[in-house]
Amino acid sequence: MVNAIIFGAPGSGKGTYASRLQEKLNVNVVAMGDIFREIIKEDTDLGREVKEYVEKGLLVPDSLTIRVLKQHIAKTQKGFIFDGYPRTIDQAKALEKITKIDAIIQLIVPDWIIIERLSTRRICKNCGEVYNIRYLKSKVEGICDKCGGPLYQRLDDTPEVIKKRIQVYEQQTSPLIRYYKEKGVPFIEFKTKALETPPEVAVEEILKGLKKLKLV
């Protein structure tokens, strides 16, 4: 059982690689947005509290996020890959009180690749599966292979907005990278300079790193 955090700029492949690692490692992918949507559907006291913030377009406070995360983790005996969380040092410290982090998976991808990838990305409206019209196409154009849902392009997947998103990510994540390095948490780095790197290549490299650390 392994608990890891995957860090990478928007478009670096986090979601794609995490979903493939989920199958190979038999772990859960923890994406807070998905967990919030799930708990809102359950219509519990905690879910209603989260709903108040989400419906107003407000960030869910750290204290509430941690309560949701605690409940989610308690439901399963599997390990986790955290995708998009933690985003701050405070969140990282709070996460440590819930579970131990065994490794950090860091994706290092040049900006030009990210811009090209995101501007050609398509996402399923139903299940969120990610495709690319250049190198990760669906079998039928505009239709998701998994659920048959329609594929769409996000409004913020334009070069100008993508550049800003990369800058925000770097400002936000640099302190977290330093924090975990200072803590001595092992890092597995996957670097690519090729636009059309198949997801399987990245996943195999990450698995090799986890095996070297004897985590799988």
pLDDT tens digits along 59-104: 889 899 999 999 888 888 889 999 989 988 999 999 999 999 999 9
Beta partners for 7? 106
Q: Are 40 and 51 in contact (CB under 8 A)?
A: yes
User: Mean of the per-residue pLDDT values for the chain?
Assistant: 91
pLDDT digits (tens, 9 = 90+) for 116-174: 888 999 999 999 898 999 888 999 999 999 999 999 998 888 888 889 989 989 998 99
Going by C-alpha positions, the residue among 205, 199, 176 that lies closest to residue 13 is 199
Question: What was the pLDDT predicted at 78?
Answer: 87
Chain center to CA of 123:
15
**Catalytic residue from among 51, 67, 70, 165:** 165
Q: DSSP 3-state assignment of 193?
A: coil
CATH fold of 3-27+78-212, please? Rossmann fold (3.40.50)
Question: What was the pLDDT predicted at 181?
Answer: 96
Question: What was the pLDDT predicted at 105?
Answer: 97
The confidence band for 11, taking pLDDT boundaries of 50, 70 and 90, is confident
pLDDT digits (tens, 9 = 90+) for 175-216: 999 999 999 999 999 999 888 788 899 999 999 999 999 998
Write the CA distances from 60 to 48, 55, 132, 168, integer angstroms.
Answer: 12, 10, 31, 19
Question: What was the pLDDT predicted at 210?
Answer: 96
Phi and psi (nearest 5°) for 114? Answer: -60, -45
Beta partners for 5? 82, 104
Cα–Cα distance, 49 to 36 (Å, whole number): 10
**Catalytic residue from among 125, 154, 178, 208:** 154
- Which two tokens mark 80? 């986790």
Question: What was the pLDDT predicted at 176?
Answer: 95
Write the CA distances from 178 to 25, 97, 164, 168, integer angstroms.
Answer: 27, 19, 22, 16
pLDDT, average across residues 48-63: 88
Question: What was the pLDDT predicted at 157?
Answer: 87
**Catalytic residue from among 20, 117, 121, 122:** 121
The confidence band for 114, taking pLDDT boundaries of 50, 70 and 90, is very high
Q: Are 18 and 81 in contact (CB under 8 A)?
A: yes
Q: Is 87 a catalytic residue?
A: yes
Going by C-alpha positions, the residue among 202, 169, 213, 201 that lies closest to residue 4 is 213
DSSP per-residue letters across 43-96: T-HHHHHHHHHHHTTPPPPHHHHHHHHHHHHHT--S-EEEES---SHHHHHHHH
Beta partners for 193? none
Give the length of the chain: 216
pTM: 0.82
Cα–Cα distance, 57 to 126 (Å, whole number): 21
Q: Is 37 a catalytic residue?
A: no
- Which two tokens mark 62? 């750290």
